[in-house]
Amino acid sequence: MQSHFNIDVQRQPSEQTLRETHETPEESRLLSTEKPDSNGQVHSTFLSRSPFIIISTLFYIALAAYAWVVTCILSRKPIGVNYYGVRFLDNRYGDVGAQAFHALFVNSEKHFRAARILQSIVSVLTVPLTSAACTRAAVVFLQSERRSGRLTMRQAIALADGAWTDIPLILHLLFGGWKRYGSSLLVVAIFLNALAGASISPLQELFLTTKTIRTPTYPQLISNLIDIPDRLDPLVDSATDTAHVISLTRDRLASTTNSQPQMNLWSQAPDCNLLTQPGRNSPLCVIGGSQYVLGNMTLLEDPFFSQLPAGFSTGLVKQFAPRINSTAHRENITANAFPSNCHQIPDALFIRYANVSNGAMNGQAYAVEVCMPANVTASPWKSQHTRQDFSEVMYLNITLSGWDFSSSLGLANTSYYSKITVNTTAGYFELPNYMNGGVNGPLLVDDPANYCDLSCAPQGFLAGSIYDHNITARATPISGSPSDAAAQLLHTRNPGPLLTIAVTLFGIGSFIDLAQSYQAYFAAADTHNGLDSSISCLNVPFIPLLRTPQDAYFGADGVNPCVEYTDDPSSASASRNVASHLWSFVFTSSDGFAGERIQNAFTSAAFIANEAWMMSHPSTGMLEVTYDYGADTQIPVISTKAIILLSALLGVFLSSLLALAIYGTWYPHWTPSLDSFAMLRIGASLADRFPGPLVIVEDADRCKVLDDTPGWIGDTSGGMGGVGELAVGADTPLLRSRRYHCQELPDSRLMSFVRGCAEKIKFSIVSNWEKREKRGEKRETSCDHQSLRTSDFSLSDAAAIRAKSDSAS
């Protein structure tokens, strides 16, 4: 409470002053029962204001507003930076080092920690500050309720007791006790406390959470990756021709097994959760790493080839990469479905082998016809960034007779016809990143540039136009023997995966082609090039892919993947190996003639062919991929709807609290707060209504005198005289310009020091004016000392003040 100390010193008291001094009404229920002192003095003061609550409220509002605004901002963007993620050509990303750029996000994290600390302080201060504002407003409320004349002492006591935090009393108000205990200020107080303690804080805890995200540091670059148009560029040197691709494919088909992990084999991750997939026992979930092996190609969901390692993430940067998916389908057909005139179809692939060795004279013979009736001299690939689809078809006619592995099944002297279709889809996909949950995106239909935003980095093809690539790259059609056509295909650029497989398995340099010259080769090379025949062998492509996913040998009947050489040029083992090799395209022990393992093997072979085509000459790649794994940063998480709701509630609460604080501060009041001391003084002034000693009251609710006694404060003097009298239930309002009786209290140490300094200043002033002052006036003191009016001092007064000052010194 601020007090104004004013001293009125007059030579002679007026009649009104004497009446105020000696004619105090005894019948009033005064809040101050002080009588004139021995010198006939009456202490009075003005109503005062207490700025503490408004200052505290403004400080509280500043803390709450800062904490909430910073939290809302940081839930959407960092302070000092435009975005949490990557924004190329913005915020100097990539122009400064990783430490310098990440320091911007560290600064935002400091703001968030400060906001959390301040929010904790605000939560602790909310209820005490709200109650303090209500108790100070209650003083003004009691002064103003004399107009309605309805406020009772019970209602005033409810305000003094802080009934807005008393749960039983609040329930009593709701169930019939409102008329006896309730008041408009109590409603406001209950509303504010409920809004602050029961709504805002719990809702903030409910809707506001935190999470750790990755924020940018510095972009890192992977260059010389292969783009699909790069493979179709006619300016690329001859290292990318079909001969090189077929050579790579043949080596891979001979050395790759079903259980070897493939780093470039991508697919959607299998769901191995038994809660979402009850009873499922997929090999992808049972065998570790089986998602990335060729033995399970038919079980994988959307398998495809991409040059980057499977699962590679670009972190905070959105990037795209080419992908190729080839899926094989095999079916057994009849002789009528086989193209009988394949060797006459222009630009078609037709290859035929038949044994002419000694084995044929023993009744053991084999023959194979390979037919691809489409125009194989034209590349099916297109130089584009949009999705492209094409299909290739190959027919096989395998004839085996006289071999024990077929006669044991009663199938000697039989021809087997099958059709293999490979459907290829190529395009681009979004690489895994933090924005898409770390999973590879689907195949895009359009150009990937259409899906880019500010988090994309230029990837070569996105930075400018696409080169004018030669799309078809046709080879010159030739005619002649099948062997001549197969030789010409070795120089056809950019074949499809099935054509690559066909030439690899049946073309020049294939196992069957080498076996045809088996005897001549060993007749001319008795030393076997210095290799022991027991440790040297001829690798047979495709056979390892026919085994089970665990590479069990029984998965592929027939020839061993590594055929040992023999010193006997007349041996029929070469023919038998070829026949066994051809039998592997017809029958397997795991699924018989159904051909599921054969189909999976062709799908795996297509994957290897695509890999060889895309990576045959990596130095020609123009594609670039940028990645940034970032650094950890903690941020608040809250939805937009929650921000709107909590902002509205917080705005209502803070504005109401500020209005209540202004209401309690703006109007001068007779006591700073409606606390226990104020109620003690009110009770002392009502002693005649509660006569007798201190007794026990078992139930205050049945005390009728509280309902009959008014609860407001007024001026019992009726506005007459210079000094008013405070009383409970008085009808005259309290005025800010009127003085009221008060009680003088001993000075504190600070006030004693101030008074001593004031006495010395007064003494100096009096000494200078002693000779000119001839008049004297009787002095009247008040409990707050007014500014000294030296023109009214007499010599006797000056002498008295000097003596008093000397004694004080």
The span from the CA of 348 to the CA of 353, in Å, is 17
What's the structural domain count of the chain? 3
Cα distance between residue 709 and residue 731, in whole Å? 14
Question: What single string gives the DSSP state of each residue in 708-741?
Answer: HSB--EEETTTT-SSEE-EEET-SBPP-TTSEEE
Q: Examine the domain organization and report whether 554 and 673 are in the same domain.
A: no
Task: Indicate whether 42 and 61 sit together in one domain.
Answer: no
Give the end of a domain, one of 627, 650, 666.
627
Expressed as residue numbers, the domain containing 443 is: 220-272+284-627
| 588 and 677 fall within a common domain | no
How far is Cα 531 from Cα 529, in angstroms, rounded to an integer?
6
Does residue 725 belong to any structural domain of this protein? no
Are 5 and 786 in contact by the 8 Å Cβ rule? The answer is yes
Asked whether residue 389 is domain-assigned, the answer is yes
pLDDT given for residue 264 in this prediction:
94
Domain stop point among 610, 627, 644: 627
What is the predicted pLDDT for the residue at 746? 65
Considering the domain boundaries, does residue 1 fall inside one? no
Verify that 593 and 680 share a domain, yes or no.
no
pTM score of the predicted model: 0.69
State the Cα–Cα distance between residues 135 and 216, nearest whole angstrom. 52
Q: Does the residue 723 lie in any domain?
A: no
Which DSSP helix (H) or strand (E) runs through 213? strand 209-215
Residue count of the chain, please give it.
809
Q: Report d(CA 174, CA 194) in Å as an integer.
A: 15
- What does 310-338 look like in DSSP terms, one character per residue? TT---BTSB-EEEEEEEEEEEEEE-GGGS
**Segments in the chain below pLDDT 70:** 1-42, 89-91, 145-149, 235-240, 277-283, 286-290, 356-362, 405-413, 461-492, 516-538, 550-573, 618-620, 691-692, 745-809
The pLDDT of residue 84 is 87
pLDDT reported for residue 327: 95
Residue 590's alpha-carbon distances to 253, 548, 552, in angstroms, are: 21, 8, 10
In-domain check, residue 708: yes
Instruction: State the Cα–Cα distance between residues 701 and 705, nearest whole angstrom.
Output: 10
Tell me how far apart the alpha carbons of residues 423 and 428 are, in angstroms, rounded to a whole number. 17
**Domain identity same for 85 and 167:** yes
Do 42 and 65 reside in the same domain of the chain?
Answer: no
pLDDT of 281: 59
Residues 85-121 pLDDT 10s: 888 766 678 888 888 888 888 999 999 999 999 999 9
> For residue 796, what pLDDT is reported?
45
Domain co-membership, 520 together with 639: no
How many helices (H) and strands (E) would you count in the chain? 24, 20
- Contact predicate 136/672, CB 8 Å: yes
Q: How far apart (Å, rounded) are the C-alpha atoms in residues 239 and 245?
A: 9
Residues 679 and 699 in one domain: yes
Residues in CB range of 149: below 8 A, 6 or more apart:
710, 712
Do 240 and 200 lie in a common domain? no
Q: How far apart are CA 779 and CA 773, in angstroms?
A: 15
Does the residue 357 lie in any domain? yes
If asked whether residues 105 and 238 sit together in one domain, one would say no
Residue 663 in any domain: the answer is yes
According to the model, what pLDDT value does residue 5 have?
35
Of 140, 2, 122, nearest in space to 56 by CA:
122
Instruction: Point out the domain boundary residue: 584, 609, 627.
Output: 627
Give the Cβ contact number of residue 726 at 10 Å: 26
pLDDT of residue 789: 38
pLDDT of residue 65: 94
Task: State whether 195 and 227 are in the same domain.
Answer: no
Of 423, 420, 439, nearest to 387 (Cα)?
Answer: 423
Task: Find how far residue 512's CA is from the centre of its chain.
Answer: 59
Asked whether residue 69 falls in the same domain as residue 39, the answer is no
| Any domain includes 122 | yes
3-state secondary structure of 530: helix
Among all chains, which residue has been given the structure tokens 């609710």? 701
Of the candidates 492, 597, 586, the one whose C-alpha atom is nearest the C-alpha of residue 549 is 597
Q: Which long-range contacts (CB under 8 A, 24 or more apart) does 165-174 make?
A: 165/127, 165/131, 165/193
Of the candidates 262, 607, 306, which has an alpha carbon nearest to the alpha carbon of residue 429? 306
778-806 as b/e: b if 16+ CB within 10 A = ebbbbbbbeebeeebbbeebbeebbeebe
Confidence (pLDDT) at 324: 97
User: Phi and psi at residue 223, in whole multiples of 5°?
Assistant: -115, 175
The pLDDT value given to residue 323: 96
pLDDT of residue 606: 96
